Structure 1
């Protein structure tokens, strides 16, 4: 499909009488492109038996090799415990009994942890004060990661002991 479209770089090319544009068009490629420097002589190129298909194979292989060389996985270093706690065995879950009092949600729960990280909350059926864990209590596992949460029980904003809390 041949096309007869003509493209201009500026509106000055529309004027056929403009001498400056004519000179620039004549001198656009003042010297021929030196293809012999990188292709060699034309006779040797015509006699070679390398086809376009071979060229595309080499280009494809080099592109694939460069892509694979650039794709390296991240290095993740595993740092072991300096002094491993006795109760923590890698891969084995530990369970802790606790209570949750969050707004209108009260429950005695078991928290399943692995390597010290809470991963699941279940209802504690053996607790003296039962309160079944609802969906909000189960979802509160995310709040256990909060480093600003309370570390001790509090009564009316004052730190107390677990015994005082149980009495009240």
Structure 2
């Protein structure tokens, strides 16, 4: 059992060695270790505050991006609406112009038809007059080929003229 229980001398020298190590650590190592710990703590706090600032800045940028995106969507919708309105106005204008042109062409066609109708009626009248004259001329030649018929016709005309 002597191996398990330490002797008084061993405890004394271990205590002296511990105190010397503790003194040396307190004299030379304690301040640099504490300084390093404080610096580490300060750098961690700085890093945390920088992270918090970065987080706030990211949130701000994200809000700005959302705002810009919303404005861009509104502008896009506005441009699309203006383009649609312009297209509809252009189609409506073309439709009105086509209707006006169609009405003008119909009026011109009606006028041309009316002119052609008048010309055809005039031509028919002229042909009827020419045919009537031709028929009358043929009848008169046939009737006036005989001298007795000529005298009788002249006498009828004279009676009609004097009666009127």
Structure number with greater CO (CA < 8 Å, separation at least 6) is 1
Do Structure 1 and Structure 2 share a fold, with TM-score over 0.5? no
> Greater strand percent: which structure?
1
Q: What is the TM-score normalised by the length of structure 2?
A: 0.21
